[in-house]
A and B are shown apart, each in its own frame.
Chain A
Amino acid sequence: MKSAIRPDPWRPLGAWTAARIALGRAGSALPTRSVLDFDIAHALARDAVQQPLDAGGLMAACREQLARDVVVVHSRAGDRSTYLQRPDLGRRLDAAGVAALGERPGSCDLAIVIADGLSATAVQAHVLPLLEALLPLLDGLQVAPLVIAEQGRVALGDEIGALMGASLVLALLGERPGLSSPDSLGAYLTFAPQLGRLDAERNCVSNIRDGGLPPEIAARKLAWLVRAALACRLTGVGLKDDSEAPPVAAVVG
């Protein structure tokens, strides 16, 4: 029997875009394979949002592969549903977390917070390769023990960084998954972290994933930004990412 699909003869134009063009149709609807492809992409994105971070596994891996001490904390959002509806709770540590970090007096140059954000998939996939590339580039800096934060948002790093006496906090977390990018990791750098910092006071390196910004290149950008932020004593709109330029060009705009 003849196929009921009406193909679209402009399929070759698909070379110019990742958009879902020239899918053809069955009646007014998508061909079966296109429906399934879309739903697979959505399933990957949904699982990325819903699946819990394997904090224990990640902690063990950080200790073994990076030889770093690790603390696991939790935000005030008790579960995923609360996390999604109450961004304010995902920005604050629960009491146990405050106590755990408060027991570690002292100061440091940099605190690194690893949070699930909106994609645990991204964290599981890209945090270790990123840190393996980044930590050697931070030679000479005092880096606090790594903090793994469950149900955390970007601003949770502010409270954690402040408790750890860090000059600078780097928050690594899963970005909102797109259909074509369920595993995109974001990195946010904030100088003088404290409660109430604004997004305009951060620098962001986003889209860290295979097919996006590879972890090795992201690590070089971040290392440059870390040293520039410490030298200029600020982050945010005032600190331009000139990591492509020679290393001396730490320009304050």
Chain B
Amino acid sequence: MTYSAVVGTRRYNFADLKAVLAKASPARSGDSLAGIAADTAVERMAARLVLADLPLRRFLDEALIPYETDEVTRLIVDQHDAAAFAPLAAQTVGEFREWLLAESTGEAQLAVIAPGITPEMVAAVSKLMRNQDLISVARKCRVVTAFRNTIGLSGRLAVRLQPNHPTDDARGIAASLLDGLMYGVGDAVIGINPASDSMAALTTLWRMLDDLIGRFAIPTQSCVLTHVSNQIRAIEMGVPVDLVFQSVAGTEAANGGFGINLAMLLEAREAALSLKRGTVGDHVMYFETGQGSALSADAHHGVDQQTCEARAYAVARHFRPLLVNTVVGFIGPEYLYDGKQIIRAGLEDHFCGKLLGLPMGCDICYTNHAEADQDDMDNLLVLLGTAGVNFIMGVPGADDIMLNYQSTSFHDQLFVRQALGLKRAPEFEVWLQTMGVTDDAGRLLPAHPDHRLLRDLSRGLA
């Protein structure tokens, strides 16, 4: 089937549905690199006209990546809930946008339709939405998950404590960890990106975090962000693993590039569930994604990077995660060139994930070869805070000395809490008050050199 639209005096034709989606996308370097972006601004608008009039049903009839060759497509098709889709079945993509924005569409309706919409529908509608639309609709979605605390409640923002160190040095990690806890950070997860791949080194990190969380009865969860196969092995070896992490992408081939498939994720989830380490919930998975991952693995099948990203959320959704983190600016300027593209992608990812029913967080970040700086990150932080993002990262001074990129800092989370009145996860909030880190209103108390956390951790470091 071909698609076409007229703008002015010219007719624009599009070979197939994935061409319509790619050419309707807001401009970004990754789609240009893939050779699938609109050639002109007007061609982009012609593709959006096609998209606006396209029935949502069309996405159920025309697979972007063949069912036979891609297990992510099979997951999307096989798991589709026709009853949940029924209220939307007569809508076009343009009408779907208006329905999402309508005052009469609220949290309850959005939760009902979530299993009935596909990633491709969500990606399509996002391409007709301005940044304010992406924020308005995402704000109405509520996705609450739990393990040792409750994340995603209205008016709350959680933060991952990310105390990375280039050589996994236990004292270096502990120093950053303490810095974060004293700034009231760590309710989403205490998650370390290890430099090492050795089981011995990884086990040391798992035990260190388990000991810390146990010793202070911190209502949070730990994660060591290594390959899922290492985590399955660790669980078999009796290592205390809270959350299982994995990077996921939106095509089978791209997941193959990560060395994973759906069966491995299922095995990992069952292994983590078997430990029964959650106290208030059993969401045991932590996924990371990011636009451009399929293209960088040469596994995008001509599908634009934002649609591939939304398909990664279908993978994540299947495993009932505690946290899904779009690491938006990490991949580099060949995929998202500048602050404008990173900000747009962050809002799209958050919107798409939330609409599909995922507990979306965002690593608001950039690398030094992207045309971006701290001001761009401040902008995206406020926008995502307004959109109701479930969690962000907390990195000392915004400078990750292991991964060599800039994310949000312990100070940044204080700022956005104050500016937008966002509280921490309730269990963690109470713990911080009990420990004398914050007052009853969640404000940081002046830190005393004799504080229990300081004394205890400093002794461990000496």
Q: Residues of A at under 8 Å CB distance from B?
A: 6, 8-10, 12-14, 16-23, 25, 28-30, 34, 38-39, 41-42, 45-46, 48-49, 84-88, 118, 176-182
B333 CB within 8 Å of chain A: yes
A150 to chain B, nearest CB (A): 16
Q: Is the CB–CB distance between B334 and A178 below 8 Å?
A: no
> Given known contacts A46-B368, A88-B33, A179-B406, is B461 in contact with A13 (CB within 8 Å)?
yes
Give the residues in chain B near A177, CB-CB below 8 Å.
368-369, 404
| Bound-complex Cα distance A175 to B367 (A) | 12
Among B332, B374, B404, contact of A181 (Cβ-Cβ < 8 Å): B404
B172 CB within 8 Å of chain A: yes
Question: For A16, A46, A86, which residue has the most chain B Cβ atoms within 10 angstroms?
Answer: A16
Nearest residue (CB) in A for B419 is A28
B176 CB within 8 Å of chain A: yes
Give the interface segment out of B10-18, B105-113, B311-319, B444-452: B444-452
Give the residues in chain A near B182, CB-CB below 8 Å.
8, 10
Q: Is the CB–CB distance between B411 and A30 below 8 Å?
A: yes
Nearest residue (CB) in A for B170 is A16
B386 CB within 8 Å of chain A: no
Nearest residue (CB) in B for A176 is B369
Give the residues in chain B near A86, CB-CB below 8 Å.
33, 334
B29 CB within 8 Å of chain A: yes
Give the residues in chain A near B332, CB-CB below 8 Å.
176
Contact with A along B414-426 (1 / 0, CB 8 A): 1101100000000
Q: Is the CB–CB distance between A25 and B414 below 8 Å?
A: yes
Nearest residue (CB) in B for A22 is B179
Question: For A34, A176, A182, which residue has the most chain B Cβ atoms within 10 angstroms?
Answer: A176
Give the residues in chain A near B409, CB-CB below 8 Å.
20, 30
Give the residues in chain B near A25, CB-CB below 8 Å.
411, 414
Q: Is the CB–CB distance between A49 and B368 below 8 Å?
A: yes
A147 to chain B, nearest CB (A): 23
> Given known contacts A10-B182, A176-B404, A177-B368, is B174 in contact with A38 (CB within 8 Å)?
no
Q: Is the CB–CB distance between A28 and B176 below 8 Å?
A: no
Give the residues in chain B near A16, CB-CB below 8 Å.
169, 171-172, 174-175, 461
> Given known contacts A6-B446, A39-B374, A176-B404, is B175 in contact with A13 (CB within 8 Å)?
yes
User: Given A38-B399, A86-B33, list of 19 further CB < 8 A pairs?
Assistant: A6-B446, A10-B447, A13-B175, A13-B458, A16-B172, A16-B174, A16-B175, A17-B169, A19-B164, A19-B172, A20-B397, A21-B179, A21-B397, A22-B179, A28-B411, A49-B368, A85-B333, A176-B367, A177-B404
Give the residues in chain A near B337, CB-CB below 8 Å.
84-85
Give the residues in chain B near A23, CB-CB below 8 Å.
396-397, 411
Nearest residue (CB) in B for A184 is B404
Q: Is the CB–CB distance between A19 and B401 below 8 Å?
A: yes
Give the residues in chain A near B458, CB-CB below 8 Å.
10, 12-13
Q: Is the CB–CB distance between B397 and A38 below 8 Å?
A: yes
Among B165, B173, B334, B396, contact of A87 (Cβ-Cβ < 8 Å): B334
Give the residues in chain A near B201, CB-CB below 8 Å.
none
16 intermolecular pairs with C-beta atoms under 8 Å apart: A8-B182, A9-B448, A10-B447, A10-B454, A10-B458, A13-B458, A17-B172, A17-B401, A19-B163, A19-B172, A19-B401, A20-B397, A38-B397, A85-B333, A87-B334, A177-B404
Which B residues, 162 to 194, have Cβ-Cβ distances below 8 Å to chain A?
A: 163-166, 169, 171-176, 178-179, 182
B131 CB within 8 Å of chain A: no
Q: Is the CB–CB distance between A10 and B374 below 8 Å?
A: no
